[in-house]
């Protein structure tokens, strides 16, 4: 495996020295995408938020600022990412408003019906079975809770499909595929939004059974 492939493959699960380099770059590299995606979050302040695949912790920090009375739990299955996210949000952790923990999207370390808002920025590409993982998100959301997915690739762009071939286990999903998986998991009021100039995509759904 060449050095470039080894490095970009760290997007899946950052490990070791290259993983630390990747996580260091994630917070800044994904900032514009994440800020665009957060524009589609609910205006009403959720009391408990879950950021899945938190990476370097920047998005968890932004959520804490956007919703100043909320508590954010940030989850990632990479110990390297967890360590970075802890360092990034140390003040909010000390204040009792944030918790960063290791965990997988397929088995979230959160109680059922306990989360008002769940977010997934630049991470579902690597989830082990989209519908099953979305069902796990559905489990932890409280009735009426919202789940938002935000991706840099809409599943059709050349750059995303290029990296899909390079990075083992990566899958770039279209809006239709994400919508179908959300519906199959039980979400309703599902809405997909494409960026007008870039292949950026958000898809959001609410915890109410499809008819």
For residue 25, the 8-state DSSP code is: H
* pLDDT score, position 211: 47
Q: Is 30 left (phi over 0), alpha (psi -120 to 50) or beta?
A: alpha
d(CA 86, CA 109): 17
* pLDDT score, position 44: 92
Name the residue with tokens 């494409």: 194
* pLDDT score, position 210: 47
What does the pLDDT profile of the chain (211 residues) look like in tens digits? 577 777 777 777 777 877 677 777 778 888 999 999 999 999 999 999 999 999 999 999 999 999 999 999 999 999 999 999 999 999 999 999 999 999 999 999 999 999 999 999 999 999 999 999 999 999 999 999 999 999 999 999 999 999 888 888 899 999 999 999 999 999 999 999 999 999 999 999 999 854 4
* pLDDT score, position 1: 54
* pLDDT score, position 19: 66
In a domain, 85, yes or no: yes
CATH of the domain at 118: 3.40.50.150
In a domain, 119, yes or no: yes
In a domain, 46, yes or no: no
CB 120 within 8 A of CB 64: no
d(CA 100, CA 98): 7
Phi first, then psi, for residue 160 (nearest 5°) are -60, -45
d(CA 194, CA 176): 12
State the residue range of the domain holding 178. 3-41+54-206
In a domain, 211, yes or no: no
What is the count of structural domains for the chain? 1
* pLDDT score, position 38: 96
In a domain, 104, yes or no: yes
Tokens found for residue 158: 């050349």
């Amino acid at each position: 495996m060449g050095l470039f492939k080894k490095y970009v493959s760290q997007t899946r699960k950052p490990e070791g020295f290259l993983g630390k380099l990747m996580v260091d770059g994630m917070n800044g590299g994904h900032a514009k995408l994440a800020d665009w995606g957060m524009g589609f979050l609910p205006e009403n302040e959720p009391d408990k938020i879950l950021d899945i695949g938190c990476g370097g912790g920047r998005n968890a920090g932004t959520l804490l600022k956007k919703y100043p009375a909320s508590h954010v739990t940030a989850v990632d299955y990479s110990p390297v990412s967890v360590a970075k996210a802890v360092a990034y949000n140390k003040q909010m952790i000390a204040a009792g408003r944030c918790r960063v923990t290791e965990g997988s999207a397929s088995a979230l370390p959160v109680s059922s019906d306990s989360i008002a808002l769940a977010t997934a920025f630049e991470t579902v590409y690597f989830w082990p079975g989209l519908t099953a993982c979305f069902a796990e998100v559905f489990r932890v959301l409280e009735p009426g809770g919202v789940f938002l997915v935000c991706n840099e690739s809409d599943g059709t762009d050349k750059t995303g499909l290029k990296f899909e071939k390079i990075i083992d286990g990566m899958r770039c999903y279209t809006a239709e595929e994400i919508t179908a998986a959300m519906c199959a998991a039980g979400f309703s009021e599902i809405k997909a939004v494409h960026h007008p100039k870039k292949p950026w995509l958000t898809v959001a759904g609410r915890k109410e059974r499809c008819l």
